[in-house]
Amino acid sequence: MKKLRRYVLYFLLGLVLLLGGAVAGVWLGQDHIIALFVQEVNQYLRTPVKVGKMEVSLLDQFPRVSITLTDVRVSGSLPQDTVPLARARRLYCAFDAWDLWRGHYRIRAVTLTDGRVYVGHDQQGRPNYEVIRYDTTAAPSDKPLAFGLENIRLTRIHTTYNDLLRQQRYTLQVKDVKAQLDVNDMLVDIQTQGDTHVEAIQLGPDAYFRDKDLALNTKLRVDRTARVVTIQPSELKVGAAAYSVAGTVSYAQDTDLDLKLDGRNTDVQSVLALLPARVVRRLSAYRSRGDVYFGGTVRGTMAGPANPRLDFRFGCRDASFYHPDYKQAVEHVFLTGTFSNGSLKSARTSQLDLRNVRGALQGKPFSGSLRYANFQNPDLALTLRADFDVARALQFYPVAAVRGGSGTAQLQVSFAGNLREFQAGPVTARVQSAGELTLRGVQLRLRDVAQPFTNLNGTFQLRRNDVAINSFAGRVGNSDFQLGGTFRNALGWLLVPRQQLVVEADLNSRLLDLDQLLSLKQPTGAVGAASPVGSAAGDGYAFRLAPTLALDVQARVQRVRFRRFRGRELQGTFRLRNQVLSTTALSVAAAGGRASFRGTLDARQPDLLHLSSSTTCQQLPLDSLFYVFEDFGQQFITTRHLRGMLTASAESDVYFTKALDPITDKLEAEVKLTVRNGELNNFMPLQKLSMIAGRERLRHLRFAQLTTPVYIQSRTVYLPEMEIRSNVRAASLIRVSGTHTFDQQMDYHLSIPILPGLLSKVAPAGSTTGPSLLLAIRGDEDNFSVTYDRARPQVARPATTSPVPAKRPGLLDGLLNPATAAPAASARPAVPAEPRKPFELKKPEKKPAQPQTGEYFEF
């Protein structure tokens, strides 16, 4: 036992002495070793190398002795290079300890950590990596230090290959890769294993293999004499999928490839990983089950602008595709596909073919084919036939503009033609397209429309670039519609941005609920429930005309609803061009009468909608009119005060915000109105005139006819002087004039004759002069006063001050500015009022008394 301990002690002592001697030898000879290393490296390199620190260590690569280089920078071989060929935090060059004893140092392993490598070709095709000199004169056995690499290890190395001539860029992160080398004269066998992360393989504008983890297990033989790399069956793994690669790469002159690829355990994700992001962006989240296969060959020269010939085949057999979030799957899918870059090995001769495509979505079958040829100037040939459930289809492949849907549809479509020609001019392009879409009980909720579309039924027939509509009917909220006609340029509008869709159609409806159609938000109640009277379906309204939409629509609507408005038998033609909506003859029955409308709505500025219109109405009950328009936003004269039949015409320029709020500062209008068989009931200001008649008679003031113009401008309603013959004997002839602002500030002036029984005797026939009581009503709705009018002003039509452009000569400028318009035949110029004494009596002339018929005499 003591001898054993002694032997162990001797062994450990010898080991310590050996290690100590090795450390001492390394320490004493490190300058010599470093000098030999620098001398030998300089014989192999053509470009300068900068090293921050160099030392010999036993510990960094134990049990081997290593020469450790810190902060290494290797320059490229091109004179204009500004980016180094390689940079590394640490570079370890290891040799055996036995070499230290013999004095001949052979570098057997290299480890590179935490670095960046930039390899590439400039625009003339010259490489930046020709940094090694192969024509060294001394034989390896004669050199005190030589390279005999057996192992190479790369850890955390970011590598970039950039070819400016061919516009190719490969970027990957080497996580941990080990390579074993077996050098036999001019033959080098390399076996590589490890993990890398491919950031992107950029070929022209397209990026392949973006952000994919790649596991390598490759075997290569490099024949340095023939300059040929032979790839023995090797494997690249992307997730669970594995691709075998075999073939040769010759680099004697130009790079010549002859490679074969085959996929095993592939799925849709592994196949999509090979395609550009722009192609698979919407498909990247989908998964697959079943037999998905992929394979192909790469043959030819890759030098300068030349590319090798690519031929790939792919497909699936009885596979299923599903989205993990939507819980929907396309099942029993069969597909045969090929891709080739053609005889010219370029995008111009490239072609993608999908044939014998068939499958089912929730039991609904589909089938089709696709050919996409000439990637520079694409020709597309597509056929598709599908029966599908709308809800299932939207769950499997969501559309951003559609929030949800249900119902069934049938689709048959074919298209053949040049895509660029079609994009340049869909109307004139030489394409062949046909198809039919049939909807049955479809419901849709669109992103930009508050109300849902329900019970959609109809057939759409594609005829080249147009779509014919056959009995398309449905509902939008409470509203219903039936549409027939043609969608001009429908295919171009669907497929090409900023194309115009022209709708030429007849529209029939039993009900249009504008409260809902213009509402910003969807109602919380059930679809089809009526909106409360006088309230909007949402918190506000929104009106917008798409710049790509054009209309020529003949409309017939049985009922129209908007707040309190209830219209019937709306008929008219609508035309929309460049966001300007116009109608020349629109009529509607409402409030017990009938109104007609013509005008234009300019929506080119969404925040400043301009409505220029001409409106007429006949025999509209005044109380109904005030009720429908909610007393025009005031409470001074309301629906409970008025009776009578209104006939009127109006010319107006009105501006709105996109929420349909009127901009009153810009409003201008002229209204010519006639009221027959009118009544003014329970009007508070009249109750204060009890000095001329009893309160009961003033409570029900009646007049046979009233005709007067009314002007609106600068938020003020101007009422020129008019005469009213009423049923109150003491005030049978009343003159009224004044103004009423939108802030409800009133300034009315009344002239009431004194001694009404004598008026016809003291005044000549047709004269309206005589002793009068002049009164003024001033204030607002809640606080007004009736006083003697001592300084009666003359109310004239307002001057045009608003910056509204004239749309029709004389519409407002001529009507509101007499100095610039010809006098109208039906209107007399304003005459300044003469001062009158309130209680002065004149001797009457003996003429026949005029009957009190209630007629209006123009002034």
* Whole-number Å distance between alpha carbons of 383 and 366: 11
Q: In the structure, what pLDDT confidence band is assigned to residue 260 with cuts at 50, 70 and 90? A: very high
Summarised one tens digit per residue, pLDDT across range 174-187 is 999 888 877 677 78
Q: What is the mean pLDDT of residues 479-501?
A: 91
DSSP structural state of residue 851: P
Task: Supply the DSSP string of 390-431, one letter for each residue.
Answer: HHHHHHHS--TTEEEEEEEEEEEEEEEEEHHHHHH-TTT---
Domain range list for the chain: 7-165
Q: Which range, of 328-342, 409-423, 833-847, averages the lowest pLDDT?
A: 833-847
Q: How far apart are the first and last CA of the chain?
A: 145
Q: In the structure, what pLDDT confidence band is assigned to residue 622 with cuts at 50, 70 and 90? A: confident
Q: In the structure, what pLDDT confidence band is assigned to residue 817 with cuts at 50, 70 and 90? A: very low
Please give the pLDDT value at position 66.
75
* Whole-number Å distance between alpha carbons of 277 and 753: 89
DSSP structural state of residue 631: G
Q: Which range, of 356-365, 578-587, 685-694, averages the lowest pLDDT?
A: 685-694
Please give the pLDDT value at position 770.
58
* Whole-number Å distance between alpha carbons of 697 and 816: 37
pLDDT at 765 over 80: no
Give the three-state DSSP class for 134.
coil
* Whole-number Å distance between alpha carbons of 236 and 213: 10
Number of residues in the chain:
859
pLDDT at 19 over 70: no
Share of the chain above pLDDT 90, in %: 20
Q: Which of 386, 391, 325, 327 is nearest to 360 (CA)?
A: 386
* Whole-number Å distance between alpha carbons of 65 and 18: 14
Please, are residues 760 and 732 in contact by the beta-carbon 8 Å criterion? Answer: no
DSSP structural state of residue 348: G
Task: Supply the DSSP string of 139-171, one letter for each residue.
Answer: -GGG-SEEEEEEEEEEEEEEEEEEETTTTEEEE
Highest-scoring range by mean pLDDT, 125-129, 374-378, 722-726, 803-807: 374-378
Q: Which range, of 133-147, 149-163, 561-575, 767-781, averages the lowest pLDDT?
A: 133-147
Please give the pLDDT value at position 783.
81
Q: What is the mean pLDDT of residues 432-446?
A: 93
pLDDT at 555 over 80: yes
Q: Which residues pair with 444 in a beta bridge?
A: 405, 453
With the CA atoms of 709, 714, 715 and 716 taken in that order, what torsion angle do they form, in degrees rounded to the nearest 10? -40
Please tell me the pTM assigned to this model.
0.64
Please give the pLDDT value at position 349.
92
Q: Which range, of 198-212, 522-536, 574-588, 635-649, averages the lowest pLDDT?
A: 522-536
Q: Which range, of 497-511, 633-647, 773-787, averages the lowest pLDDT?
A: 633-647
Please give the pLDDT value at position 198.
87
Give the three-state DSSP class for 680.
strand
Q: In the structure, what pLDDT confidence band is assigned to residue 824 with cuts at 50, 70 and 90? A: very low
Please, are residues 732 and 725 in contact by the beta-carbon 8 Å criterion? Answer: yes
Q: What is the mean pLDDT of residues 791-807?
A: 50
Q: What is the mean pLDDT of residues 505-526?
A: 75
Give the three-state DSSP class for 697.
helix
